Amino acid sequence: MVVEEVIWGKKFESVFKKIKNQDTKDRIRKQIKKIIKRPEIGKPYQYARKGERGVYIGNYRLIYSLEKMVEMDKLGEVIREYEIVIILAFLSKDEIRRKH
């Protein structure tokens, strides 16, 4: 399925703005590009984070979810299907464990 849109969640956007290290920001952008190409690349989480996936960036995890979208015509026929990637958070391993 094709990823048509990437949405930055409020929590992620807030954290991203506070990152001063340009190398870290570049690594995050690079991982987002990889996610767009292959959305299933991230490790699926369980329990409290079910439905979310994460990819490693150093000692941190970029947490995201995939939303499958279906566009239909007036008769209920499927016109197209696509995915939206929602970037939820940028957390350390400890922060992820605390949510479980």
Q: Which band of pLDDT confidence, cut at 50, 70 and 90, is reported for residue 3?
A: confident
pLDDT tens, position by position, 10-45: 989 999 999 999 999 999 999 999 999 998 899 888
Report the phi/psi class of residue 73: left, alpha or beta, with left for phi > 0 and alpha for psi in -120 to 50: beta
- Report d(CA 65, CA 19) in Å as an integer: 22
Report which secondary-structure segment, H or E, holds 83.
strand 78-92
CATH, residue 51: 3.30.2310.20
> Quick one: which of 37, 90, 98, 27 has its CA closest to 61?
90
Answer yes or no: is pLDDT of 93 > 90: no
d(CA 72, CA 54): 31
Domain count, the chain: 1
Its sign, for the CA torsion 84, 90, 93, 96, is negative
16-20, 58-62, 73-77, 94-98: range with lowest mean pLDDT: 94-98
Q: What residues make up the domain containing 78?
A: 3-99
Task: Return the pLDDT at 92.
Answer: 83
